[in-house]
Structures are given as C-alpha cells and as structure tokens.
Amino acid sequence: MLRWLGWGLSLALLVYMAWDLIWSDHGYLVYRREHAEVLRLQDKLATMQQRREKLAGEILRLRKDPKALEDLVHRELGYVYPDEYMLIVPPAKGESVQQDQRGTKK
C-alpha cells in the first residue's frame, strides 16, 4: 500500500511539474509568445536601421551637393527663381486636399 502511495505522489508531482513547465507565467507558451515578439521587434529594428542609413546618405548628399539642396528647396518649399512662374491649380470639386506631416500637399 505504501508503494502505491509513493507512485501516486510521484505521478501527482510529475503532472504538477509538467503543468508548471507549459502553462505557468514562465512556461513554454509565454516563451513562444515573447519569442515571436522579439522576432517582430528585430524586423522592425532592421527596417528602421535601413531607413536611418538612407536618411544619413540623403543628409550627406544635401551637405555636399548644392544642386541637390536647391532641388529640395524648390520641391519641398515651393521656391521659384525671379524669372519663373508658379501655377497653383485648385483641386476639382469633391476632391479633398490632404497634407502630410511636412505640410506639402498630396
């Protein structure tokens, strides 16, 4: 009889340990969820690093090339030379004008 009690307690301990391994706050399911989050954040970091490198290249190009800076000023700020004319065409009826964060019209 004592032997069956030992086996029963061992089995109960084994079931408890298996439950704790899988469904506890530090178990396998939580590990899988957090691992997926880490992978998502690594992808986001790689994308942000690529964007950062692209912007750093753009900054260097604007610092070294006056023509590139002049083109940017014309495009983004709408500057014109004294001998140029700027035509502003109003949007068609029912068409809304959207502005992005820089204030340029889309």
Domain-wise residue ranges, the chain = 2-77
C-alpha span between 44 and 80 (Å, rounded) = 39
pTM for this entry: 0.55
pLDDT lower than 50: segments of the chain: 106
Per DSSP, the three-state class of 99 is: strand
Residue 72, token pair as written in the block = 């940017």
**What pLDDT shows up at residue 106?**
47
Residue ranges in the chain assigned as alpha helix (H): 2-23, 28-64, 66-72
Going by the DSSP 8-state scheme, the letter that residue 97 receives in this structure is P
